[in-house]
Each structure stands twice: as C-alpha cells, then as structure tokens.
Amino acid sequence: MYKVKKLHLSDLHEHMLDSFERRQVTTNVWMVESNDFIEKEDRFVDDWSIERKREIVNHFKSIIARGGSVIVAEQDMNVIGFVVIEAETFGELTAYRELSYIHVSLPFRGMGIGRKLFIKAQEVAKQLGVDKLYIGAHPSVETQEFYKRMGCVIAEEIYHEIYQRETRDIQLEITL
C-alpha cells in the first residue's frame, strides 16, 4: 500500500528519485488545431537519467523554499509518484499556478495513483489561493486522456514562457 503526502524541505534527499522509472513510450500524440484535438502518429521515448532525477530533487527544494508544493506517493520509503505546484502565480485574468510535474513510476501506472495525486494537488492549490492550475501537458494520447478524465480543458490564457519550454505540449487548465 502507498501513502500520499505533502513534502517539507526536511523530507528531501538527493537519492529520493533514484528508483523512479520515468520511461514513457509514445506512439501517438494529440495536437491542437483550430481549438480541436487531432491525433497524429509520433514515436519517441521519454526517460530520465540519474542526473536528471537529481536535478528534479533540487527543483523540489527550490519550489518548497519559495512557497510551492511537492506531493508524493510513497511505498516502502520509495517515491512511486509525484506532483509539483510551482510557487509563482501568474495570469492576466486569473490566478494560475503551474502544475509542472505529475508522474507515476512505470511499474505503478494504471493503479489510480496519478488520480489521487492530481486530486491532492487541487486541494493544496486551493489552500494556496489558486483559481486554476495551468499544465503544459505531454502530448501523448494516454497523457491527454488522463487530463481529460480529470476535467482539464484547453487553457484560456496561454502562458508563453511555459509554452516555449516545449511547443508540442498541450496547454491545459483546470478550475479549482
């Protein structure tokens, strides 16, 4: 059994993501054209090196120190999923915060962990006074289906700094 918890700086350590399996094989993606989703074939693999995992742990430290939140799912002291709510609020019309990461380790996918993390992220974001979460979401069909099930829609405001990080990502939001 796993538990979901919000992390504090004292919970972080350099090796906490070492056993995390990010690997995702993508064969089809969704693209937005004229505000409609179009499915296209696009084959690639996403994976993280140990160095990348350590960079992400350092990012966790920065986020928590600046007032953002990191929520993890843990089993037997191992991180099997996590979600990150960035510290900065933005948006011309709405108080957005970016949900910059939500990942479940490969062996634990399909068990509802991502759903529980997403729901917990919404609760924490509300406590932070956020109106909406903004997500530059991976374009894979599976990822987009997850966000659709969670109630996400195409973002009303496009935050160009996030869009420019990965122009193939679908810019989504969810109202809290």
Q: Is the pLDDT of residue 32 over 80?
A: no
Backbone torsion region of residue 35, taken as left when φ is above 0, otherwise alpha when ψ lies between -120 and 50, otherwise beta: left
Q: Is the pLDDT of residue 35 over 90?
A: no
CB atoms within 10 A of CB 111: 14
How confident is the model over 1-16, as pLDDT tens digits? Answer: 999 999 999 999 999 9
Cβ-contact 81, 103 below 8 angstroms:
yes
- Binned at pLDDT 50, 70 and 90, residue 151 comes out as very high
How confident is the model over 88-97, as pLDDT tens digits? Answer: 999 987 789 9
Q: 124 — phi, psi (to 5°)?
A: -65, -40
Using the Cα atoms of residue 29, residue 57, residue 112 and residue 99 in order, give the sign of their dihedral.
Answer: negative
What residues pair up with 74 in beta bridges, in sequence order? 3, 79
Instruction: Specify the pLDDT at position 128.
Output: 94
Q: The domain spanning residue 17 has which CATH number?
A: 3.40.630.30
Instruction: Specify the pLDDT at position 156.
Output: 92
Q: Residue 100 is part of which domain span?
A: 3-175
Instruction: Specify the pLDDT at position 34.
Output: 79
Instruction: Specify the pLDDT at position 82.
Output: 98
- Binned at pLDDT 50, 70 and 90, residue 100 comes out as very high
How confident is the model over 39-81, as pLDDT tens digits? Answer: 999 999 999 999 999 999 999 999 999 999 999 999 999 999 9
Nearest alpha carbon to residue 107 among 80, 133, 127: 80
Q: Is the pLDDT of residue 136 over 90?
A: yes
Q: How many domains does the chain have?
A: 1
